[in-house]
Amino acid sequence: MCSKAIEKDISACGLCGIINEEGFSIDGETVLRFISAMNERGNGLGAGFAGYGIYPEYRNYYALHLMYYHHRSRETVEQLIDENFEMEVSERIPTKRVISINNPPELWRYFLKPKNCPDMMGDELVVNFVTYVNAFVDGAFVMSSGKNMGVFKAVGSPKDVGEFYRIDEYEGYMWLAHTRFPTNTPGWWGGAHPFNLLDFSVVHNGELSSYGTNRRYVENFGYKCSLLTDSEVLVYLADLLTRRHKLPIHIAAFALAPPFWEQISQLPKKERELLKAIRLTYGSALANGPFTMILGFSGGMIGLSDRIKLRPLVAARKNSTLYLASEEAAIREICEKPEKIWRPVAGKPVICLLRRKLNVELYPARIHYQMEC
């Protein structure tokens, strides 16, 4: 089977995210129980995890996770790496034999620093590398490319995928997880969630009816949508709006799911003018259709649903930890007595940003809040 997706997919899935805003570690076993509580929302054709803070000893290196479907694709990619990066570590991603995980590709991780490139240009070099590999190197796929984080995904149930990647052996201050239910394309390893670019990772449930518009918009800025999935477009939008256009995360969220014009017209002048400017400037970034997404980045986590909330999202909080999930029962599986549990308003983001830097470059610190217009 070719390693590249050839059709756009529609998903009805389960997703979750957990973050400690003080930066304290959460073990992988916790997130594994979290997503496994929603096992029935998937059909065994895809599951995955994104962990942040899992490589503290290599926090200053880009951690690239790759899958290879044949040996010559690895040779091609490693030649590209040698031309563009200084390699600190090259090794197989540790895995465990699981009977239900059949015919896995070669799984490698690299810890890299850009070669002959100013620090401020390192991100662009990595983006160009990821784009080129995913679009043009047959049999190779970049799962993740951020610093001090990594994505682990496969075809299988959350429990089996977690066991295969030995997720319980990792610790991080934030985790995203996903169980997939593809409805019109075969499950394949690269098509599982999360989708990642640099430190941005997305897990997604639903369908973007605006996919064509969103795709054309990001491709105008040099991104290449080679995988033809909604989640790929969402992670590119997140990178474009926040890293390249330097929008605050809550402004980027409103660009993705702004209020309706009728709602905007009823707001006080200051808020009305701001949201009007966002809609006019970033109309092509608006994500339409039934969806819920959780976006993780090195500085925090955001949960967002469409403006009508046709896909579920539940939030909870206990002490300095925020939980997001498709189902309340999943949250209670790992947090028996949350201090607060609620269902976020349609189209209004729930955001939690870290309060301390953890030796990585972060966005300005902000305590957890639910955005209200």
- Whether 3 is covered by a domain: the verdict is no
- Whether 126 is covered by a domain: the verdict is yes
Residue % of the chain over a pLDDT of 70 = 90
pLDDT in tens, 344-368: 988 889 999 998 544 333 333 332 3
Helix (H) or strand (E) holding 77: helix 71-84
- Whether 223 is covered by a domain: the verdict is yes
pLDDT in tens, 38-51: 988 877 678 999 99
335 has catalytic annotation: no
pLDDT tier at 107 (50, 70, 90 boundaries)? very high
Give the whole-angstrom CA distance, residue 128 versus residue 62. 14
pLDDT greater at residue 314 or residue 230:
314
Region 196-220: mean pLDDT is 93
Give the whole-angstrom CA distance, residue 290 versus residue 268. 28
Region of poorest pLDDT, from 26-40, 53-67, 149-163, 258-272: 258-272
Give the whole-angstrom CA distance, residue 44 versus residue 13. 11
Please tell me the total count of domains within the chain.
Answer: 1
CA atoms within 13 A on the CB side of 366: 17
pLDDT greater at residue 372 or residue 16:
16
Report the CATH number at residue 150. 3.60.20.10
- Whether 1 is covered by a domain: the verdict is no
Give the whole-angstrom CA distance, residue 45 versus residue 38. 14
pLDDT in tens, 238-278: 999 999 999 998 899 989 988 889 888 998 999 899 999 99
Phi, psi (deg, nearest 5) at residue 66: -130, 150
- Whether 33 is covered by a domain: the verdict is yes
Q: Is 30 helix (H, G, I), strand (E, B) or coil?
A: helix
Question: Which residues, 6+ apart, have CB-to-CB distance to 371 below 8 Å?
Answer: 250, 253, 254, 348, 349, 350, 351
Nearest partner of 164 among 109, 107, 204, judged by Cα: 107
- Whether 229 is covered by a domain: the verdict is yes
Q: Which of 13, 225, 335, 352 is catalytic?
A: 13
- Whether 7 is covered by a domain: the verdict is no
pTM for this prediction: 0.89
Give the whole-angstrom CA distance, residue 237 versus residue 239. 5
- Whether 245 is covered by a domain: the verdict is yes
Q: Is 213 helix (H, G, I), strand (E, B) or coil?
A: helix
Question: What local confidence, expressed as pLDDT, does residue 182 receive?
Answer: 65
Region of poorest pLDDT, from 3-7, 184-188, 256-260: 3-7
- pLDDT at 145 exceeding the cut of 80: yes
Question: What local confidence, expressed as pLDDT, does residue 40 receive?
Answer: 84
Structural domain harbouring 320: 14-368
Question: Which residues, 6+ apart, have CB-to-CB distance to 202 below 8 Å?
Answer: 193, 194, 195, 196, 231, 234, 235, 238, 293, 294, 295, 296
